[in-house]
Structure 1
Amino acid sequence: MTVNDDSFTNWKIREEIAESMIPLIGKLHRERDVTVLLHSRSLVNKSVVSILKTHRFARQIAGEELSVTETLPFLQALTALDLGPSQIDIGMLAATYKSDDRGLSVEAFTAEAVAGATGANKIEGGEGRDVVLYGFGRIGRLVARLLIEKSGSGNGLRLRAIVVRGGGDQDIVKRASLLRRDSIHGQFQGTITVDEANSTINANGNAIKVIYANDPSEVDYTAYGIKNAILIDNTGKWRDREGLSKHLRPGIDKVVLTAPGKGDVPNIVHGVNHDTVKPDEQILSCASCTTNAIVPPLKAMDDEYGVMRGHVETVHSFTNDQNLLDNYHKSERRGRSAPLNMVITETGAASAVAKALPDLKARITGSSIRVPVPDVSIAILNLQLARETDRQEVLDYLRDVSLTSPLRRQIDFITAPDAVSSDFIGSRHASIVDAGALKVEGDNAILYLWYDNEFGYSCQVIRVVQHVSGVEYPTFPAPAV
């Protein structure tokens, strides 16, 4: 048998193992509301090849490939436990088991590692929490996809309605079509049907009412059976407390804005300051995509090295608030053709850092350039540190942060030498550290941070909504503090 034959045989064996994992992952998700992760990447509803690719990707961050033969025993052990709603990282289970010298069986080690989700400790699933989307643009449709994907057992978040202005004939059909197909993010994973007579979109069994209104004051959500809901405003029309309070109508309990909040509206970056949200707070903001991209790594660097000052330069994909061709725009440069020019513009991300990281004393400045790509941006974070270090130390530290820290869902890490922006379309992390581009000299560090300013940001929005709704389930093994 040749080397090629051996390699192909090995691949077929791993395919078979990955195939056997799919029903186990699906059953845990549907029946117990357990999301199986591999190094913070969900394996729910993934294909055989996707599962194998996710295992292989671990090589880039952990230094060696992770095999399905290593993770399957932990997955099998989970199915035998009385688990409550949770997120369980089988990649972390396998890694921590390797370093454990007590001689425990996989079953005993797994039971101990996830004890917080079993028996008397487990969370009992509730009825779920209603969610309403106000607006259905780029972020609104991606948030809708995520809500539908995460509906799981039905005990979590439930997308009940979308509120839009009427758009004429076949409005609902056209909106459903935009949800079904996306030029950047691809096809919707599932089935979508439209009931025009009842103004409803049915997506993977989720009946979503489409409500037509020109102003929040026109809607009584209780008339649609919606109660105690979280409303996600992705229009950006209102950004202060007074304006967003218009949404606090019958049936709506909290309002979450997908843009930087103004005045005293809390700007929340999940993973950094989401624990500061007061239980009775009804209005909050998820800040901007760029703020979400820079604040987690900025916090990580400040925690380890101290940050004296910094500057962030964002090279940002163009957005719908720019013109396709030169035309009037209220901003001076955004009226110039977005797909034909690099456009210098402002960013509020640097000033927003103070809201998310009030303990950071360093002055952070920022500027931005819009460039002719439709999605994925990069933030260049130039930091003066409180102590000297070297490139390898910073690399090792940030790799570890991406794998084991409380920020592992926000910060990803890539070592691929040929990575470009399109490689990060669909990334669920707030930012991805490009190891090859990192520069360190003495007390100066320059981080290059990729981020999917549409999908990665939408994932952060969902995390905030899960947190304030009370359905943000614990992750095991617990990340290192």
Structure 2
Amino acid sequence: MSVLALNGLGRIGRLLVRRLGNVHRGLLGAVNDPAPLDQLVHLLRYDSVHGPCPWPIEGLTEDGQDYLFLDGRRVPLFHASDPGQIPFPAPTRLVVEASGRFTRRADAAGHLKDGVSHVVISAPSPDADYTVIAPINGGGLDPGRHRVISNASCTAHATAPMLKVLDEAFGLEHAGMSTVHVVTNDQRLLDLPHKDLRRARAAFKSIIPTTSSAFGALHRAMPDLPAAFDGVALRVPTLSVNLVDVVATLRRDADLASVRAAYESAAAGSWRDLIGMAPPFAVSTDITGRAESVLMDLDLTMLLGPRFVKVFGWHDNETGYAARLCELVVDLAGRI
């Protein structure tokens, strides 16, 4: 039974469609995006970073209604701009809000009508009922109380396990993070006005320091983080894969061997499939397509004192995040 609908066929929305089609083919029952059918079909078929879709995608208009044929499954496609105006069909109970426009609770809650009981926002939200970074706090998600849920950000999902492993092995006194982050559609291709004057500059011409939404999401999901935990994003002219750089002061002494052992143990245990190990001498293109939340590059680890450590982790900011989003909505769909 199709209980899931998707609002927004942007970068993450399209990868979610692919992932659901590969593993949970019957779950997606409807899609909404204001763009024309032919453009959406083309963007679903082909992707400049992740390649062509492995299964056929077609579009059809019948009696004034657009449809997507996703590997032979007929899925209605609507084109409303307002969540409250989308006629998602019964028995839709869960909507993934992936447009990037409705990240505040009041806006995302516009989907809560006509049988829809829950919304998952595919981005950080300042006031969602709950922010999930599994398995950090996934056990606290209560569908009875949490109706509008944020899946945090790609950077938050990568950084959280890096911090958690250090905290459990050595304790965290202080911590900070910077992310070397690919360009996104919230930047200007050429210089053009933007409320962030750095993002107003040509995305493929400069390294662009800016803010990251990950910090708010991390503090919401990990309330025990050091209060001053913060950092910066450095946008660079590439299309895929970020590198997270965490620096921390520890409560207990560590050495390179013990830091390596802590991450390798986590990757083989409770964090299996979420923490991976980067290949030797990795560069960003080597990580494209990997679905882990983070791949630790332990050869880059630096110990600047017995309690002062610097660790690095790669992540495919789209594939990894879409994987976590898919896991969340599949789990939630089975519980509501």
TM norm structure 1: 0.66
Could you say which residue in structure 1 is the equivalent of 2:86? 219
Aligned counterpart for 2:16 among listed residues 140, 143, 151: 143
Q: CA deviation at 1:236?
A: 2.3
Mapped to 1, the partners of 2:183 and 2:14 lie a distance apart of 18
The one-character-per-residue Cα deviations of 1:451-480 (angstroms, maximum 9, x if unpaired) are: 111111111111111222227xxxxxxxxx
Q: Measure, in 2, the Cα distance between the counterparts of 1:257 and 1:357.
A: 18
Residue in structure 2 matched with residue 278 of structure 1 by the alignment:
142
Q: Which amino acid aligns with 1:134?
A: N
Structure 1's 181 and 264: CA in aligned 2 closer, same or farther, altered over 3 A?
A: closer
Q: Classify 1:264/1:177 alpha carbon distance in 2 versus 1 (closer, same or farther; 3 Å).
A: closer
Percent of pairs identical after alignment? 30
What displacement does 1:446 show?
A: 0.9
Q: Tell me the secondary structure at the aligned position of residue 252 of structure 2.
A: strand
Aligned to 1:204: 71
CA deviation digits over 1:102-126, x for unaligned, max 9? Answer: xxxxxxxxxxxxxxxxxxxxxxxxx
Q: Does the 8 Å CA contact 2:129/2:147 hold for their aligned counterparts?
A: no
Q: What are the equivalent positions in structure 2 for 1:54-203 lying under 5 Å apart?
A: 127=1, 129-151=2-24, 154=26, 158-165=27-34, 167=35, 171-197=36-62, 198-203=65-70
Structure-2 change in CA distance of 1:264 and 1:461 (3 Å): closer
Q: Deviations over 1:325-352 (max 9, x none)?
A: 1111121110100011110101132233
After superposition, residues 460-471 of structure 1 pair within 5 angstroms as 460-470=324-334
Q: Distance in 2 between matches of 1:234 and 1:136?
A: 7
TM-align CA RMSD: 1.7
Residue pair 1:376, 1:453 contacting (<8 A) in 2 also? yes
Asked if the contact 2:296–2:313 (Cα under 8 Å) also holds between the matched residues in 1, the reply is yes
C-alpha contact 2:289 2:319 (8 A) present in aligned 1:
yes
Structure possessing the higher radius of gyration over alpha carbons: 1
How many Å separate the matches in 2 of 1:355 and 1:328? 31
**Alpha-carbon contact 1:308-1:363 (below 8 Å) kept:** no
Q: Which amino acid aligns with 2:67?
A: T
Out of 209, 213, 216, the residue aligned to residue 344 of structure 1 is 209
Q: Which has the higher contact order (CA 8 A, sep 6+)?
A: 2
Kept after mapping to 2: 8 A contact 1:310/1:362: no
Contact kept in structure 1, 2:83 and 2:108, CA below 8 Å: no
Aligned equivalents of 2:161, 2:195: Cα separation in 1: 32
Return 5+ residue gaps in structure 1 as ranges.
Answer: 1-126, 472-481
In the alignment, the residues of structure 1 paired with residue 123 and residue 10 of structure 2 have an alpha-carbon distance, to the nearest angstrom, of 13
For residue 377 of structure 1, what is the aligned residue in structure 2?
242
Q: Are the equivalent residues in 2 in contact too, given 1:270–1:463 (CA < 8 A)? A: no
Give, in angstroms, the shift of residue 408 of structure 1.
Answer: 1.6
For residues 238-387 of structure 1, the aligned pairs below 5 Å read 238-280=102-144, 281-361=146-226, 363-387=228-252
SS at match of 1:279: coil
Structure 1 residues 328, 402: CA separation in 2 closer, same or farther (over 3 Å shift)? same
Q: Distance in 1 between matches of 2:311 and 2:251?
A: 16
Q: Does the residue aligned with 1:221 lie in a helix, a strand or coil?
A: coil
Return the offset for 1:361.
Answer: 4.2
Unaligned runs of 5+ in 2: none
Q: CA–CA distance in 2 between the matches of 1:251 and 1:206? A: 23
How big is each residue's C-alpha offset from its partner over 1:68-96, in whole Å with a ceiling of 9 and x where there is no partner?
xxxxxxxxxxxxxxxxxxxxxxxxxxxxx
Corresponding residue number in structure 2 for 1:392? 257
Q: How many residues matched?
A: 332
Corresponding letter in the other structure for 1:278: D
So what's the TM-score if we normalise by structure 2?
A: 0.94
